[in-house]
Structure 1
Amino acid sequence: MTALELAGRSRGVAVLLTLSGGFLDAFTYVGHGGVFANAMSGNIALLGINVASGDWTQAARHVPPLIAFAFSVCVVHMLGLATIARFVTRPALACLVLEIGFLALAASNLLSLPDFVLIPGITFVATLQTLSFTHVENVTYTSVMTTGNLRRATKRLLEGLIPRYDKAALHDASLLGAAGLCFLTGAVLGAYTTAAMMNNALWIAVLLLLSALTRMCQLSRSDYVRHS
Protein backbone atom coordinates (compact mmCIF):
# COMPACT_ATOMS: atom_id res chain seq x y z
CA MET A 1 0.00 0.00 0.00
CA THR A 2 1.40 3.40 -0.97
CA ALA A 3 1.86 6.33 1.40
CA LEU A 4 -0.98 8.18 -0.33
CA GLU A 5 -3.35 5.25 0.12
CA LEU A 6 -2.45 5.06 3.80
CA ALA A 7 -3.02 8.79 4.13
CA GLY A 8 -6.50 8.33 2.65
CA ARG A 9 -7.30 6.03 5.59
CA SER A 10 -6.46 8.60 8.25
CA ARG A 11 -9.12 9.70 10.71
CA GLY A 12 -8.79 13.35 9.72
CA VAL A 13 -9.39 12.61 6.04
CA ALA A 14 -12.37 10.39 6.90
CA VAL A 15 -13.89 13.18 9.00
CA LEU A 16 -13.65 15.67 6.13
CA LEU A 17 -15.00 13.24 3.54
CA THR A 18 -17.94 12.25 5.73
CA LEU A 19 -18.79 15.86 6.53
CA SER A 20 -18.96 16.51 2.79
CA GLY A 21 -21.14 13.41 2.29
CA GLY A 22 -23.77 14.62 4.74
CA PHE A 23 -23.51 18.13 3.34
CA LEU A 24 -24.24 17.03 -0.23
CA ASP A 25 -27.29 14.96 0.74
CA ALA A 26 -28.77 17.95 2.57
CA PHE A 27 -27.82 20.30 -0.28
CA THR A 28 -29.75 18.40 -2.95
CA TYR A 29 -32.70 17.59 -0.67
CA VAL A 30 -33.19 21.13 0.64
CA GLY A 31 -32.19 23.07 -2.43
CA HIS A 32 -33.19 20.82 -5.30
CA GLY A 33 -36.58 19.28 -4.91
CA GLY A 34 -36.33 16.74 -2.12
CA VAL A 35 -33.93 14.39 -3.90
CA PHE A 36 -30.97 12.76 -2.15
CA ALA A 37 -27.53 12.92 -3.71
CA ASN A 38 -26.20 9.85 -1.91
CA ALA A 39 -28.96 7.99 -0.08
CA MET A 40 -30.19 5.65 -2.80
CA SER A 41 -32.43 3.82 -0.31
CA GLY A 42 -34.14 7.13 0.38
CA ASN A 43 -34.52 7.87 -3.33
CA ILE A 44 -36.02 4.45 -4.01
CA ALA A 45 -38.44 4.81 -1.09
CA LEU A 46 -39.50 8.29 -2.23
CA LEU A 47 -39.80 7.02 -5.80
CA GLY A 48 -42.19 4.34 -4.61
CA ILE A 49 -44.19 6.83 -2.54
CA ASN A 50 -44.49 9.21 -5.48
CA VAL A 51 -45.53 6.42 -7.83
CA ALA A 52 -48.15 5.23 -5.35
CA SER A 53 -49.57 8.75 -5.07
CA GLY A 54 -49.51 9.28 -8.83
CA ASP A 55 -46.98 12.14 -8.66
CA TRP A 56 -45.06 11.10 -11.76
CA THR A 57 -43.19 14.41 -12.08
CA GLN A 58 -41.67 14.10 -8.63
CA ALA A 59 -41.10 10.37 -9.09
CA ALA A 60 -39.05 11.06 -12.21
CA ARG A 61 -36.69 13.31 -10.24
CA HIS A 62 -35.42 10.29 -8.27
CA VAL A 63 -34.44 8.27 -11.33
CA PRO A 64 -31.35 10.19 -12.62
CA PRO A 65 -29.41 9.81 -9.33
CA LEU A 66 -30.03 6.05 -9.39
CA ILE A 67 -28.64 5.85 -12.93
CA ALA A 68 -25.66 8.04 -11.99
CA PHE A 69 -24.95 5.83 -8.98
CA ALA A 70 -24.84 2.69 -11.12
CA PHE A 71 -22.68 4.42 -13.72
CA SER A 72 -20.22 5.53 -11.05
CA VAL A 73 -19.87 1.95 -9.81
CA CYS A 74 -19.07 0.90 -13.37
CA VAL A 75 -16.42 3.61 -13.71
CA VAL A 76 -14.66 2.60 -10.49
CA HIS A 77 -14.69 -1.01 -11.63
CA MET A 78 -13.12 -0.01 -14.95
CA LEU A 79 -10.44 2.04 -13.16
CA GLY A 80 -9.43 -1.12 -11.32
CA LEU A 81 -8.79 -3.08 -14.49
CA ALA A 82 -5.14 -3.69 -15.28
CA THR A 83 -5.33 -2.14 -18.75
CA ILE A 84 -6.62 1.17 -17.38
CA ALA A 85 -4.61 1.09 -14.14
CA ARG A 86 -1.45 1.55 -16.21
CA PHE A 87 -2.67 5.03 -17.20
CA VAL A 88 -4.54 6.04 -14.02
CA THR A 89 -2.03 5.13 -11.33
CA ARG A 90 -3.80 6.96 -8.49
CA PRO A 91 -7.51 6.43 -9.13
CA ALA A 92 -8.65 7.56 -5.67
CA LEU A 93 -6.79 10.84 -6.04
CA ALA A 94 -8.16 11.30 -9.56
CA CYS A 95 -11.72 10.71 -8.34
CA LEU A 96 -11.30 13.22 -5.51
CA VAL A 97 -9.90 15.87 -7.85
CA LEU A 98 -12.78 15.25 -10.28
CA GLU A 99 -15.30 15.68 -7.46
CA ILE A 100 -13.71 18.94 -6.36
CA GLY A 101 -13.68 20.21 -9.93
CA PHE A 102 -17.33 19.40 -10.58
CA LEU A 103 -18.56 20.90 -7.31
CA ALA A 104 -16.47 24.04 -7.86
CA LEU A 105 -18.00 24.41 -11.33
CA ALA A 106 -21.50 24.05 -9.91
CA ALA A 107 -20.78 26.49 -7.06
CA SER A 108 -19.32 29.12 -9.38
CA ASN A 109 -22.49 29.36 -11.48
CA LEU A 110 -20.31 29.71 -14.58
CA LEU A 111 -22.68 27.19 -16.11
CA SER A 112 -26.29 27.15 -15.07
CA LEU A 113 -26.72 23.43 -14.50
CA PRO A 114 -30.34 22.24 -14.46
CA ASP A 115 -31.36 19.83 -11.73
CA PHE A 116 -31.41 16.84 -14.09
CA VAL A 117 -27.67 17.44 -14.64
CA LEU A 118 -26.62 18.84 -11.25
CA ILE A 119 -28.13 16.18 -9.00
CA PRO A 120 -26.91 13.07 -10.87
CA GLY A 121 -23.58 14.84 -11.36
CA ILE A 122 -23.22 15.19 -7.60
CA THR A 123 -24.33 11.59 -7.14
CA PHE A 124 -21.73 10.43 -9.64
CA VAL A 125 -18.75 12.22 -8.07
CA ALA A 126 -19.82 11.48 -4.50
CA THR A 127 -20.14 7.78 -5.34
CA LEU A 128 -16.66 7.89 -6.84
CA GLN A 129 -15.53 9.26 -3.49
CA THR A 130 -17.10 6.60 -1.31
CA LEU A 131 -15.93 3.76 -3.56
CA SER A 132 -12.38 5.16 -3.63
CA PHE A 133 -12.07 5.79 0.11
CA THR A 134 -13.42 2.69 1.82
CA HIS A 135 -11.45 2.56 5.09
CA VAL A 136 -10.74 4.70 8.10
CA GLU A 137 -7.61 3.16 9.59
CA ASN A 138 -8.38 -0.58 9.17
CA VAL A 139 -12.16 -0.27 9.47
CA THR A 140 -14.49 -0.39 6.48
CA TYR A 141 -16.84 2.61 6.31
CA THR A 142 -18.80 4.74 3.86
CA SER A 143 -18.29 8.49 3.64
CA VAL A 144 -21.54 9.43 1.92
CA MET A 145 -24.10 7.21 3.69
CA THR A 146 -24.54 6.33 7.32
CA THR A 147 -26.76 3.24 7.71
CA GLY A 148 -23.91 0.76 7.32
CA ASN A 149 -21.65 2.79 9.60
CA LEU A 150 -24.25 2.85 12.37
CA ARG A 151 -24.92 -0.88 12.03
CA ARG A 152 -21.23 -1.74 12.25
CA ALA A 153 -20.65 0.75 15.08
CA THR A 154 -23.39 -0.87 17.16
CA LYS A 155 -22.11 -4.36 16.39
CA ARG A 156 -18.52 -3.49 17.34
CA LEU A 157 -19.69 -1.73 20.51
CA LEU A 158 -21.50 -4.84 21.64
CA GLU A 159 -18.53 -7.01 20.72
CA GLY A 160 -16.35 -4.69 22.79
CA LEU A 161 -18.50 -5.06 25.88
CA ILE A 162 -20.12 -8.51 25.69
CA PRO A 163 -19.07 -11.09 26.72
CA ARG A 164 -15.78 -9.40 27.65
CA TYR A 165 -14.00 -6.10 27.26
CA ASP A 166 -12.36 -5.75 23.84
CA LYS A 167 -10.37 -2.55 23.37
CA ALA A 168 -9.90 -3.04 19.62
CA ALA A 169 -13.63 -3.50 19.03
CA LEU A 170 -14.43 -0.38 21.04
CA HIS A 171 -11.86 1.57 19.03
CA ASP A 172 -13.55 0.45 15.81
CA ALA A 173 -16.94 1.43 17.26
CA SER A 174 -15.62 4.90 18.07
CA LEU A 175 -14.37 5.38 14.51
CA LEU A 176 -17.68 4.33 12.99
CA GLY A 177 -19.69 6.31 15.52
CA ALA A 178 -17.62 9.39 14.72
CA ALA A 179 -18.41 8.85 11.03
CA GLY A 180 -22.12 8.87 11.81
CA LEU A 181 -21.76 12.05 13.87
CA CYS A 182 -19.78 13.74 11.11
CA PHE A 183 -22.45 12.82 8.56
CA LEU A 184 -25.11 14.36 10.80
CA THR A 185 -23.01 17.49 11.31
CA GLY A 186 -22.46 17.82 7.58
CA ALA A 187 -26.20 17.45 6.95
CA VAL A 188 -27.02 20.19 9.46
CA LEU A 189 -24.43 22.47 7.91
CA GLY A 190 -25.66 21.66 4.40
CA ALA A 191 -29.31 22.29 5.22
CA TYR A 192 -28.61 25.61 6.92
CA THR A 193 -26.23 27.02 4.32
CA THR A 194 -28.21 25.80 1.31
CA ALA A 195 -31.33 27.57 2.55
CA ALA A 196 -29.29 30.77 2.88
CA MET A 197 -26.90 30.53 -0.07
CA MET A 198 -28.37 28.04 -2.56
CA ASN A 199 -25.72 26.76 -5.02
CA ASN A 200 -23.03 28.98 -3.52
CA ALA A 201 -23.19 26.71 -0.47
CA LEU A 202 -21.30 24.11 -2.50
CA TRP A 203 -18.13 26.12 -1.89
CA ILE A 204 -18.23 24.69 1.64
CA ALA A 205 -18.17 21.15 0.26
CA VAL A 206 -15.32 22.15 -2.04
CA LEU A 207 -13.40 23.51 0.96
CA LEU A 208 -13.96 20.30 2.92
CA LEU A 209 -12.71 18.15 0.05
CA LEU A 210 -9.74 20.42 -0.65
CA SER A 211 -8.83 20.12 3.03
CA ALA A 212 -9.02 16.32 2.74
CA LEU A 213 -6.80 16.39 -0.34
CA THR A 214 -4.30 18.70 1.36
CA ARG A 215 -4.22 16.48 4.45
CA MET A 216 -3.58 13.41 2.32
CA CYS A 217 -0.67 15.11 0.59
CA GLN A 218 0.77 16.28 3.91
CA LEU A 219 0.58 12.82 5.46
CA SER A 220 2.00 11.06 2.42
CA ARG A 221 4.81 13.61 2.18
CA SER A 222 5.74 13.22 5.86
CA ASP A 223 5.75 9.44 5.44
CA TYR A 224 8.02 9.76 2.41
CA VAL A 225 10.44 12.01 4.29
CA ARG A 226 10.42 9.69 7.31
CA HIS A 227 11.34 6.66 5.19
CA SER A 228 13.76 8.34 2.77
Structure 2
Amino acid sequence: MSKTRHAAENFKVGALLTLVGGYLDTYTYISRGGVFANAQTGNIVLMGLKLTECEFGAAVHYLIPIISFVVGVLAVELIKSKFNDDPKVHWHQITLLLEMFIIAVVGFIPESHNNIANVLVSLTCAMQVEGFRRLNGNAYATTMCTGNLRSGSESLFAYLKSRDVSQRKKAREYFSIICIFIVGAVIGNVLTGFIGIKAVLICLIGHAGALFILRTYRTPNDKTAD
Protein backbone atom coordinates (compact mmCIF):
# COMPACT_ATOMS: atom_id res chain seq x y z
CA MET A 1 0.00 0.00 0.00
CA SER A 2 1.52 3.34 -1.07
CA LYS A 3 1.97 6.09 1.44
CA THR A 4 -0.15 9.20 1.00
CA ARG A 5 2.11 12.20 0.44
CA HIS A 6 1.78 15.76 1.65
CA ALA A 7 0.88 18.37 -0.97
CA ALA A 8 4.31 19.98 -0.49
CA GLU A 9 5.84 16.86 -2.08
CA ASN A 10 3.69 17.24 -5.20
CA PHE A 11 5.73 17.42 -8.41
CA LYS A 12 3.88 20.54 -9.56
CA VAL A 13 4.85 22.35 -6.36
CA GLY A 14 8.44 21.22 -6.78
CA ALA A 15 8.51 22.30 -10.41
CA LEU A 16 7.19 25.78 -9.67
CA LEU A 17 9.59 26.36 -6.79
CA THR A 18 12.53 25.00 -8.79
CA LEU A 19 11.66 27.39 -11.60
CA VAL A 20 11.81 30.20 -9.05
CA GLY A 21 15.10 28.87 -7.68
CA GLY A 22 16.82 28.97 -11.06
CA TYR A 23 15.32 32.37 -11.79
CA LEU A 24 16.59 33.90 -8.55
CA ASP A 25 20.14 32.68 -9.08
CA THR A 26 20.50 34.50 -12.40
CA TYR A 27 18.58 37.51 -11.08
CA THR A 28 20.97 38.19 -8.21
CA TYR A 29 24.05 37.39 -10.26
CA ILE A 30 23.07 39.74 -13.09
CA SER A 31 21.39 42.61 -11.29
CA ARG A 32 22.59 42.43 -7.68
CA GLY A 33 26.37 42.52 -7.84
CA GLY A 34 27.38 39.06 -9.03
CA VAL A 35 26.22 37.20 -5.92
CA PHE A 36 24.60 33.77 -6.06
CA ALA A 37 21.34 33.70 -4.10
CA ASN A 38 21.18 29.93 -3.84
CA ALA A 39 24.66 28.49 -4.32
CA GLN A 40 26.32 29.30 -1.03
CA THR A 41 29.26 27.06 -1.99
CA GLY A 42 30.03 29.53 -4.76
CA ASN A 43 29.82 32.45 -2.34
CA ILE A 44 32.10 30.64 0.13
CA VAL A 45 34.68 30.04 -2.60
CA LEU A 46 34.52 33.66 -3.76
CA MET A 47 34.83 34.85 -0.16
CA GLY A 48 37.91 32.66 0.29
CA LEU A 49 39.47 34.12 -2.86
CA LYS A 50 38.90 37.66 -1.62
CA LEU A 51 40.40 36.80 1.77
CA THR A 52 43.57 35.46 0.15
CA GLU A 53 43.79 38.70 -1.82
CA CYS A 54 43.33 40.68 1.43
CA GLU A 55 40.20 42.31 0.02
CA PHE A 56 38.30 42.07 3.27
CA GLY A 57 35.50 44.41 2.26
CA ALA A 58 34.80 42.30 -0.81
CA ALA A 59 34.92 39.15 1.35
CA VAL A 60 32.17 40.57 3.56
CA HIS A 61 30.14 41.15 0.39
CA TYR A 62 29.97 37.36 -0.02
CA LEU A 63 29.72 36.59 3.69
CA ILE A 64 26.45 38.49 4.06
CA PRO A 65 24.27 36.12 1.95
CA ILE A 66 25.89 33.12 3.66
CA ILE A 67 24.82 34.37 7.08
CA SER A 68 21.39 35.23 5.71
CA PHE A 69 21.02 31.67 4.43
CA VAL A 70 21.66 30.31 7.92
CA VAL A 71 19.06 32.68 9.36
CA GLY A 72 16.54 31.50 6.75
CA VAL A 73 16.97 27.87 7.77
CA LEU A 74 16.53 28.79 11.43
CA ALA A 75 13.40 30.81 10.57
CA VAL A 76 11.73 27.84 8.87
CA GLU A 77 12.53 25.54 11.78
CA LEU A 78 10.94 28.11 14.11
CA ILE A 79 7.84 28.37 11.91
CA LYS A 80 7.60 24.58 11.77
CA SER A 81 7.85 24.26 15.55
CA LYS A 82 5.12 26.87 16.09
CA PHE A 83 2.61 25.83 13.42
CA ASN A 84 3.18 22.12 12.75
CA ASP A 85 0.06 21.20 14.74
CA ASP A 86 -2.09 24.14 13.63
CA PRO A 87 -5.33 22.75 12.10
CA LYS A 88 -6.11 25.95 10.17
CA VAL A 89 -2.90 26.68 8.28
CA HIS A 90 0.13 24.51 7.55
CA TRP A 91 3.66 25.75 8.14
CA HIS A 92 4.50 25.21 4.45
CA GLN A 93 1.89 27.81 3.55
CA ILE A 94 3.20 30.29 6.11
CA THR A 95 6.72 29.80 4.77
CA LEU A 96 5.58 30.52 1.21
CA LEU A 97 3.61 33.60 2.23
CA LEU A 98 6.64 34.97 4.04
CA GLU A 99 8.82 34.27 1.00
CA MET A 100 6.37 36.15 -1.21
CA PHE A 101 6.36 39.16 1.09
CA ILE A 102 10.16 39.30 1.17
CA ILE A 103 10.46 38.94 -2.62
CA ALA A 104 7.94 41.77 -3.07
CA VAL A 105 10.12 43.99 -0.88
CA VAL A 106 13.26 43.08 -2.86
CA GLY A 107 11.64 44.34 -6.05
CA PHE A 108 11.65 47.88 -4.69
CA ILE A 109 15.17 47.97 -3.25
CA PRO A 110 17.44 50.16 -5.43
CA GLU A 111 20.76 48.92 -6.81
CA SER A 112 22.57 51.18 -4.37
CA HIS A 113 21.45 48.77 -1.64
CA ASN A 114 22.26 45.47 -3.34
CA ASN A 115 23.64 44.00 -0.12
CA ILE A 116 20.23 44.31 1.51
CA ALA A 117 18.54 42.77 -1.52
CA ASN A 118 20.98 39.86 -1.51
CA VAL A 119 20.41 39.28 2.20
CA LEU A 120 16.67 39.02 1.63
CA VAL A 121 16.89 36.83 -1.46
CA SER A 122 19.29 34.43 0.27
CA LEU A 123 16.88 34.37 3.19
CA THR A 124 14.00 33.29 0.97
CA CYS A 125 16.12 30.70 -0.82
CA ALA A 126 17.15 29.18 2.50
CA MET A 127 13.53 29.08 3.60
CA GLN A 128 12.59 27.36 0.36
CA VAL A 129 15.35 24.74 0.45
CA GLU A 130 14.63 23.98 4.11
CA GLY A 131 10.85 24.00 3.82
CA PHE A 132 10.49 21.97 0.64
CA ARG A 133 12.92 19.07 0.87
CA ARG A 134 11.01 16.10 -0.54
CA LEU A 135 9.58 15.24 -3.94
CA ASN A 136 7.20 12.27 -3.79
CA GLY A 137 9.04 10.98 -0.75
CA ASN A 138 12.56 11.52 -2.10
CA ALA A 139 15.02 14.14 -0.86
CA TYR A 140 15.70 16.95 -3.34
CA ALA A 141 16.42 20.68 -3.54
CA THR A 142 14.57 23.42 -5.39
CA THR A 143 17.41 25.94 -5.27
CA MET A 144 20.51 23.97 -6.30
CA CYS A 145 21.35 21.06 -8.59
CA THR A 146 24.36 19.13 -7.24
CA GLY A 147 22.39 16.89 -4.88
CA ASN A 148 19.67 16.34 -7.47
CA LEU A 149 22.28 15.40 -10.07
CA ARG A 150 23.85 12.88 -7.70
CA SER A 151 20.51 11.34 -6.72
CA GLY A 152 19.31 11.23 -10.31
CA SER A 153 22.51 9.51 -11.41
CA GLU A 154 22.22 6.96 -8.60
CA SER A 155 18.63 6.19 -9.56
CA LEU A 156 19.58 5.90 -13.22
CA PHE A 157 22.30 3.37 -12.38
CA ALA A 158 19.90 1.43 -10.16
CA TYR A 159 17.38 1.27 -13.00
CA LEU A 160 19.95 0.17 -15.58
CA LYS A 161 21.14 -2.53 -13.20
CA SER A 162 17.81 -3.87 -11.95
CA ARG A 163 15.25 -2.52 -14.44
CA ASP A 164 13.24 -1.37 -11.44
CA VAL A 165 10.53 0.93 -12.82
CA SER A 166 10.39 2.93 -9.57
CA GLN A 167 14.07 3.82 -9.99
CA ARG A 168 13.41 4.95 -13.53
CA LYS A 169 10.64 7.20 -12.27
CA LYS A 170 12.93 8.67 -9.60
CA ALA A 171 15.67 9.34 -12.15
CA ARG A 172 13.18 10.99 -14.49
CA GLU A 173 11.89 13.25 -11.73
CA TYR A 174 15.37 14.31 -10.64
CA PHE A 175 16.55 15.10 -14.16
CA SER A 176 13.26 16.88 -14.89
CA ILE A 177 13.81 19.10 -11.85
CA ILE A 178 17.33 19.92 -13.07
CA CYS A 179 15.98 20.85 -16.51
CA ILE A 180 13.31 23.03 -14.91
CA PHE A 181 16.01 24.80 -12.87
CA ILE A 182 17.87 25.54 -16.11
CA VAL A 183 14.68 26.88 -17.70
CA GLY A 184 14.18 29.14 -14.67
CA ALA A 185 17.75 30.42 -15.00
CA VAL A 186 17.23 31.17 -18.70
CA ILE A 187 13.95 32.98 -18.05
CA GLY A 188 15.60 34.92 -15.23
CA ASN A 189 18.42 35.98 -17.51
CA VAL A 190 16.08 37.19 -20.25
CA LEU A 191 13.55 38.98 -18.04
CA THR A 192 16.16 40.58 -15.79
CA GLY A 193 17.84 41.97 -18.91
CA PHE A 194 14.55 43.54 -20.00
CA ILE A 195 12.96 44.56 -16.70
CA GLY A 196 15.92 45.14 -14.38
CA ILE A 197 15.72 44.87 -10.60
CA LYS A 198 11.92 44.60 -10.57
CA ALA A 199 12.18 41.35 -12.54
CA VAL A 200 12.27 39.54 -9.20
CA LEU A 201 8.54 40.23 -8.85
CA ILE A 202 7.89 37.64 -11.57
CA CYS A 203 8.81 35.00 -8.98
CA LEU A 204 5.59 35.78 -7.17
CA ILE A 205 3.71 33.99 -9.95
CA GLY A 206 5.53 30.74 -9.22
CA HIS A 207 5.10 31.17 -5.48
CA ALA A 208 1.40 31.93 -5.88
CA GLY A 209 0.92 28.83 -8.03
CA ALA A 210 2.62 26.64 -5.44
CA LEU A 211 0.58 28.23 -2.66
CA PHE A 212 -2.64 27.58 -4.58
CA ILE A 213 -1.78 23.88 -4.84
CA LEU A 214 -0.97 23.72 -1.13
CA ARG A 215 -4.26 25.40 -0.26
CA THR A 216 -6.46 23.26 -2.50
CA TYR A 217 -4.78 19.86 -2.28
CA ARG A 218 -5.49 17.90 0.89
CA THR A 219 -4.15 14.57 2.14
CA PRO A 220 -4.52 12.69 5.44
CA ASN A 221 -0.83 13.31 6.17
CA ASP A 222 -0.95 17.12 5.95
CA LYS A 223 -0.47 17.55 9.68
CA THR A 224 2.62 15.46 10.12
CA ALA A 225 4.45 15.86 6.84
CA ASP A 226 8.16 16.72 7.10
Whether TM exceeds 0.5 here: the answer is yes
| Counterpart position of 2:186 | 188
Structure-to-structure mapping, 1:33-52, within 5 angstroms: 33-52=33-52
Return structure 1 stretches of 4+ with deviation > 6 angstroms: none
- The reply on whether 1:212 has 2:210 as its aligned counterpart is yes
Identity of paired residues, percent? 27
In structure 2, C-alpha distance between the alignment counterparts of 1:148 and 1:210, rounded to whole Å: 26
| Counterpart position of 1:132 | 131
In structure 1, C-alpha distance between the alignment counterparts of 2:67 and 2:150, rounded to whole Å: 26
Tell me which of 145, 165, 168 is aligned to 1:167.
Answer: 165
The aligned length equals: 216
Amino acid at match of 1:44: I
Structure 2-normalised TM-score?
A: 0.87
Q: State the Cα distance separating 1:112 from its structure 2 match.
A: 4.3
Q: State the Cα distance separating 1:53 from its structure 2 match.
A: 3.0
| Counterpart position of 1:115 | 114
| Counterpart position of 1:91 | 91
Cα root mean square deviation, aligned: 2.4
- 2:10·2:135 contact (CA, 8 Å) conserved in 1? yes
| Counterpart position of 1:6 | 6
- 2:149·2:178 contact (CA, 8 Å) conserved in 1? yes
Amino acid at match of 1:115: N
- Show CA shifts across 1:97-120 (max 9, x none): 01111112222x2x5482221111
Amino acid at match of 1:26: T
- 1:19·1:208 contact (CA, 8 Å) conserved in 2? yes
In structure 1, C-alpha distance between the alignment counterparts of 2:176 and 2:55, rounded to whole Å: 38
- 1:92·1:129 contact (CA, 8 Å) conserved in 2? no
Q: State the Cα distance separating 1:26 from its structure 2 match.
A: 0.8
Report the 3-state secondary structure (helix = DSSP H, G, I; strand = E; otherwise coil) of the residue aligned with 1:38.
coil
Gaps in structure 2 of 5+ consecutive residues? none
In structure 1, C-alpha distance between the alignment counterparts of 2:208 and 2:89, rounded to whole Å: 20
Gaps in structure 1 of 5+ consecutive residues? none
Q: For the structure 1 residues 54 and 196, does the alpha-carbon distance in structure 2 shift closer, same or farther, using more than 3 Å as the test?
A: farther
